Amino acid sequence: MKIETLKKRLEKNRPMTTITIRMPEDVIEDLKRIAPLLGFSGYQPLARAYIGQGLRTDLERLEGDTVFALIASLKRHGVSEEVIQEALSEVSER
């Protein structure tokens, strides 16, 4: 994830939107029970945290898969390992 995107995600007052989602009642009850034990003010912030955590994991995995696919493609096209490593170093320094 790019640094600018990550910084925006860490802002406290990001714009929010309302959604409706159907969930099993027992899941909501468990969220309500667990939320205060984990330091959340209610079950909705906990649910947002779980969704955000899963989303970040998947984004990292999918974006990482893209990078690995690009590297493999560059190698197939004859780009040397040295050039690829140099480019990766430049990108990671940003």
pLDDT tens digits, 12-63: 788 889 999 999 999 999 999 999 999 999 999 999 999 989 988 888 777 7
Give the residue with greater pLDDT, 48 vs 11.
48
pLDDT at 75 over 80: yes
**Apex CA 89: angle with CA 73 and CA 67, to 5°?**
30
- The structure tokens listed for 36 are 């205060």
**pTM for the whole structure:** 0.62
Contact yes or no for 21/31 (Cβ under 8 A): no
- In this predicted structure, what is the pLDDT of residue 31? 97
